[in-house]
Structure 1
Amino acid sequence: MGKRQKKLSHGLAYLVYRLAETALTIPPMWFCYRTGQLIGLICYCALKRYRNLAEHNISIAFANTKSTHEIKQLVREHFITVGANFVCSAKLTTVSPKKINNYIEYEGLELLQENAEKGVPIIYLACHMGAWEILAQINSPVANVRQSTLYQALSNPYIDAHVLRKRQRTGIKAFDRKDGFNAPMAHLRGGGSLGILVDQNAGYRGVWCPLFGKLASTSNLAPLLAARSGATMFPYFIITLGPSKWKVIVSEPLEVSPDEGIAMTTAKMNLEVEKMITRSPKDWFWLHNRWKTPKTRFLIEKYRRGFCLPPNITIDELQPFNILIIAPRSEDHCKISVQTVRLIAGGRPDAKITVLGNHPEIWGNITEIEKFIERPDHAKAPHADDGSFSDRTFDVAILFDNSKSAVREAKRQGVPHIVGYGNNENDQFIDHKIIQENSPDESAYYNKIAESIGSIMP
């Protein structure tokens, strides 16, 4: 799209946005809330993919405390709540900051006041919860403390400028992430406050820390800025109380200890996020793939920031990252690939390896393998498992056998991410394709797969 066409497209989108915003000035808030609930219910019924994603994420967080029926109920309630909060968030931008207070209650503001009296800057640890846009539309919860927030600019410059104007009407200063962090740091050192959303997947740049017991890539930006500025971090979130009524909550502060590393503080921060979500599970944005598997390097031993566990969690308590390896068919190739399986098993502290293949006399002696499953088209041997996949869901499948039948087996198990050498038969099914340079008779053939997903080569 050329510059002129792009500018026209942005202009038309901005016009539609403003018309919709103007239309929202007419109905009362309760009507917007109910309309949003209806939209959320329609989305719940129509968007199966996102319904399944929400159910998957909620199961990660609450499988040990909620039944399958309760999880499905929570998914439905979540869609309805998100719809209501989405429409009301748009409506609230048309309401004056003073009138917004008619719709919200506060909890824990005395914690902020005590901190402000000490002259200590504040970092708000915010989440995508409830009508989170309210947090950018209200006046500073602490008198004489200048508000600011980090934001990522929208792709449409006209809508972006309009949204910024709406947020800045309460005196909040918005810092664009792409401009760096010198300005936010100066703002904090001057005694101001800074809001940071801390519940998003940080990709390859994050620290891998448990969130509800499952490792998730987490940004260390908030703890880093707090350590360098001397700021106190406060969990700061909003929950839905009912139709057109919300509560803004401030929890006990998370302080940075000079004796602990930034990674440990980041891990503790995730525990605070858990508490926020548990306070009102329907309000957190479960449609975000928080525990997303990186497309290529999902083994994390090469990551610069690595992983970190808080003091109350051990490696054995982590939810497993289940890896299905579909083994080569020949006995010789199986023997050659054993060392690669060991490399993969050591690539994550939470890795659990299942091998699907033949020759149980080879795989049964490998301690790094948690489970061996005999290929269905061969007779079972005494050392083989019962062949059942029913007790686990796999995060990834790795094809040492790149035949069409192997990739179909991975698909039958519902594996969301498949890695292997591509060919004319399986290209369309493989998510992470590797270019073949060696023969299956060589260990380099299998080691290249391990290296491409993040293993450190010996």
Structure 2
Amino acid sequence: MSEEEPQAAPRPTLAHRLEYALLRSVEWLLGLMSLRGVVKVGGVLGGVAHTLSPKHRRLVRRNLRIATAAQAPGEAELDALVRETFRRAGGNLLASQRAAIMPPGALREHISFEGLEHLLEKIRAGRGVVLVWSHMGNWEVLAQLIREVGENIQGGPIYRPLENPLLDELTVQRRTREGAVLFNKHDGFNGPAALLRRGGVVTVMTDQRAGGHGELCSFFGRLSSCTPLPALLARRTGAAMVTLSITSQEAGKWRLTIRAVPEKAKTQEVLRHLETAMRDRLSDVFWFHDRWRVDKMLPLGFFTKDAPAEAAAAATLPTRMVATLPSGNPDAVAALTTLLELRPDLRIDLLDRGNTPSLPEDPRLVRFPAADTNALLERCDASHPVPLDFALLLDGDTGLATQARSLGLRAIIGAGTSGKPWTRHFPVPTDAAGWRELAIKLVLTAKSRKNA
């Protein structure tokens, strides 16, 4: 097969066929109800999921704690926001499936627009537009947005193909039937750029983690790997940028709000505007992906080309670590001071049992009393609006490691430990240089250490 020929789609398995049949059956059932009724049923199912899934409840709560930390709500208010997020996720999910099988144009009566002029004025001037949005609300209404701009305007998303080839084919057929132009995220930059140069609209979901391909920026105040694609597309093609929020109104109604992004905005500024869009209604945002998760082995590191120490100045919220020190080993303090040097945005909650050695004066290094170990990490986690990210238990306390696992911390690292629940083990260093080296291995990748 030549390089120009497209790869053949994978053959569907029995599991794929069953999954496809299930989806079509669900769609048939949804088709018997009005869109308003579907939203209400989805809300009930979302409430059931909130009750039955503590894992996802903990994840949504963690994400919302970060997103609201600048003006932290009380516990009761946060609990209510988490419940509402589950209900809206259920309603929006089922509504999106119901909207996908509606006749062309039938969705228009269910949506309203605010700020549409920000998009229209760019299109009428012959410019392409990069539409920046998050996984929010009923995403099927995006197809209606392109129709509202004009029948002759081409537009569509950069999307990730579904693993099930039958569902992927169905989705592509539906999107293209409605006039959308789809770009496989694995096919590169040229397709979306060409559409923008022709005056089209490209939608980019910008709230996802970008991994090693991202740019280190502050997102809701937290340092994170974020996609530079919207700013890059705009810069390379001369396109404008706008943000979009999709918020639920009454059951079965949604509002699309469009805001202009300043010309030549860089990634950090684009993200600030996206945050504004998401804050239109945080409970409409799909908070079920672990946006700010840390790596189990490299909890303070990123796999981007940017150095964390240089990018950390943009962060207004800390990355939080709970730590212990081995008794009678003052050299171990070097591990903590090194971490603070490499990650200026770090806050270390040091569990203090009354025998903690002398520590440097640094507001980022906080002693947390540990006289009572019952639910100690849970209390430590709740002592700050931002949740704990990982545990560095240099005294090898397995009981605390078990608490960290129950709390849902992804990285639980110890010195002189083995087995579970630890995610990484280090031998106990013999001097201050060894403790510094341990800290460096939690922040810098082998490549970044080589380039340092």
TM-score by length of structure 2 reads 0.85
Aligned residue number for residue 364 of structure 1 = 359
Partners of 1:358 and 1:68 lie apart in 2 by 28
Aligned residue number for residue 25 of structure 1 = 31
Give the superposition deviation at 1:134.
2.0
Following superposition of structure 1 onto structure 2, how do residues 61-80 of structure 1 map, counting pairs within 5 Å?
61-63=67-69, 64=71, 66-80=73-87
Question: What letter is aligned with 1:274?
Answer: E
Aligned residue number for residue 172 of structure 1 = 180
Answering whether residue 448 of structure 2 is matched by residue 453 of structure 1, we say: no
Aligned residue number for residue 88 of structure 1 = 95
TM-score by length of structure 1 reads 0.84
Question: What letter is aligned with 2:177?
Answer: R
Match of 2:268, SS state, is helix
Aligned residue number for residue 142 of structure 1 = 149
Change (3 A) 1:157 1:411: closer
Mapped contact 1:137–1:167 kept (Cα < 8 A): no
Q: Deviations over 1:131-182 (max 9, x none)?
A: 1132146543322321121000000001001011111112111111111112
Change (3 A) 1:365 1:423: closer
Partners of 2:439 and 2:12 lie apart in 1 by 42
Mapped contact 2:111–2:255 kept (Cα < 8 A): yes
More divergent stretch after superposition (279-288 vs 190-199): 279-288
Change (3 A) 1:319 1:236: same
Following superposition of structure 1 onto structure 2, how do residues 207-218 of structure 1 map, counting pairs within 5 Å?
207-218=215-226
Partners of 1:171 and 1:306 lie apart in 2 by 42
Mapped contact 1:402–1:421 kept (Cα < 8 A): yes
Change (3 A) 1:51 1:359: closer
Following superposition of structure 1 onto structure 2, how do residues 56-455 of structure 1 map, counting pairs within 5 Å?
56-63=62-69, 64=71, 66-136=73-143, 139-143=146-150, 144-256=152-264, 265-300=266-301, 303-306=304-307, 318-331=316-329, 334-335=330-331, 337-356=332-351, 362-365=357-360, 367=362, 370-373=365-368, 376=371, 389=380, 391-392=383-384, 393-405=387-399, 407-408=401-402, 410=404, 415-421=409-415, 423-424=417-418, 427-431=419-423, 433-434=424-425, 436=426, 440-443=429-432, 445-455=434-444
Answering whether residue 6 of structure 2 is matched by residue 10 of structure 1, we say: no
Mapped contact 1:340–1:447 kept (Cα < 8 A): yes
Match of 1:419, SS state, is strand
Give the superposition deviation at 1:246.
0.9
Question: Identity rate of aligned residues, in percent?
Answer: 27
**Structure 1 stretches lacking a partner, 5+ long:** 258-264, 378-387
**Structure 2 stretches lacking a partner, 5+ long:** 1-8, 373-378
Give the superposition deviation at 1:25.
2.1
Mapped contact 2:325–2:356 kept (Cα < 8 A): no
Partners of 2:212 and 2:168 lie apart in 1 by 27
Mapped contact 1:41–1:79 kept (Cα < 8 A): yes
